[in-house]
């Protein structure tokens, strides 16, 4: 993991996310790029304010980048030109509705980006990840390359991986076959029958007590397939009070 991108929209959320990213980079030795996705004309001011407010260790390099034009095209260009490995962002960039988990800006980034994303809750302090919960309804993958970023997290923090296999009514027949690489890496496997993966997470969350949740966004049959008709995701459909790592299925 060499390059991290932190898109910010407001001072408060920007400080939270950049602080998390700087602490994370101090362990991984990654370079942090920060950019402002505020479109109201105050982007450079917000960016300067956030950079002035976050203490940066000598071992961490933070580089600011200014976006111009469409913010989503700009983020896509930055991820490619800077060879970004991970994007760290807030569940809601500018939306204030308490009913939302993902706002329209973050939701669109999640839908469009091929880069692994770490969604950090507001006011969440950086801490060691002792337990990582990976929840899925189908973990039958042809290659373990899908989990390279997850493997990085597990190795960096010496974390335990706990698997939650949720059997949903719409799960495909091959869903019962779990990739051997995942099973070999995991500390536990829990199986649960639920209507959705989110309901399975809610049922077993307390007993596992994870420090981070990991989901793999498949090209087909993913848990967000129906609720991603719009860019916003309501809390009643899915939410997490811990950092959420979203991976995208590779070919």
pTM recorded for the entire structure: 0.89
Distance CA 22, CA 4 (A): 10
- Do the domains 3-119 and 131-215 sit in the same CATH topology, yes or no? yes
Query: Can you give the chain as a three-state secondary structure string?
Result: CCEEEEEECCHHHHHHHHHHHHHHHHHHCCEEEEEECCCCCCHHHHHHHHHHHCCCCCCCCEEEECCCCCHHHHHHHHHHHCCCCEEEECCCCCCCCCCEEECHHHHHHHHHCCCCEEECCCCCCCCCCCEEEEEECCCCCCCHHHHHHHHHHHHHHCCEEEEEEEECCCCCHHHHCCCHHHHHHCCEEEEEECCCHHHHHHHHHHHHCCCEEEEEECCCCCCCCCHHHCCCEECCCCCCCCCEEEEECCC
Residue 185 tokens read as: 């890496």
Looking at the predicted structure, is the pLDDT value of residue 221 above 50? no
Looking at the predicted structure, is the pLDDT value of residue 168 above 60? yes
Which residue, 150, 126, 149, 160, is CA-closest to 26?
Answer: 126
CA torsion sign for 50, 53, 54, 55 is positive
3-119, which class in CATH?
Answer: alpha beta
Which residue, 133, 138, 140, is CA-closest to 203?
Answer: 133
Looking at the predicted structure, is the pLDDT value of residue 19 above 70? yes
Most confident of 93-102, 139-148, 200-209: 200-209
Spatial neighbors of 176 by CB under 8 A, at least 6 apart, are 140, 167
CA 38 to each of CA 83, 154, 247: distance values in angstroms, whole numbers, following the listed order:
23, 33, 25
Looking at the predicted structure, is the pLDDT value of residue 102 above 80? no
Looking at the predicted structure, is the pLDDT value of residue 218 above 90? no
Looking at the predicted structure, is the pLDDT value of residue 99 above 80? no
Q: Looking at the domain 131-215, which fold is it?
A: Rossmann fold (3.40.50)
- The domain segmentation of the chain, as residue ranges, is 3-119, 131-215
Residue 144 binned pLDDT confidence (cut-offs 50, 70, 90): low
């Amino acid at each position: 993991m060499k390059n991290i991108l932190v898109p910010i929209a407001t001072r408060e959320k920007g400080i939270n996310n950049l602080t998390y990213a700087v602490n994370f980079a101090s362990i991984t030795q990654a370079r942090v790029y920060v950019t402002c996705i505020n479109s109201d004309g105050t982007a450079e001011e917000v960016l300067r304010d956030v950079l002035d407010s976050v203490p940066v260790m000598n071992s961490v390099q933070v580089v600011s980048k200014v976006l111009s034009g469409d913010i989503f095209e700009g983020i896509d260009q930055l991820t490619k030109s800077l060879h970004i490995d991970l994007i760290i962002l807030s569940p809601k960039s500018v939306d204030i509705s308490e009913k939302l988990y993902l706002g329209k800006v973050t939701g669109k980034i999640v839908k469009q980006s091929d880069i692994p994303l770490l969604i950090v809750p507001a006011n969440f302090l950086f801490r060691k990840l002792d337990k990582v919960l990976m929840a899925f309804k189908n973990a039958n993958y042809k290659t373990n390359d899908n989990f390279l970023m997850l493997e990085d997290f597990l190795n960096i923090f010496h974390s335990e991986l706990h698997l939650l296999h949720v059997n949903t009514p719409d799960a495909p027949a091959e869903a019962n076959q779990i990739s051997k690489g995942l099973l070999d890496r995991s500390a536990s496997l829990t199986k649960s029958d639920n209507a959705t993966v989110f309901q399975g997470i809610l049922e077993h969350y307390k007993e596992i007590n994870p420090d981070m949740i990991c989901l793999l966004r498949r090209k087909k049959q993913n848990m967000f397939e129906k609720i991603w008709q719009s860019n916003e995701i309501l809390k009643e459909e899915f939410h997490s009070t811990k950092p959420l790592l979203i991976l995208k299925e590779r070919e």
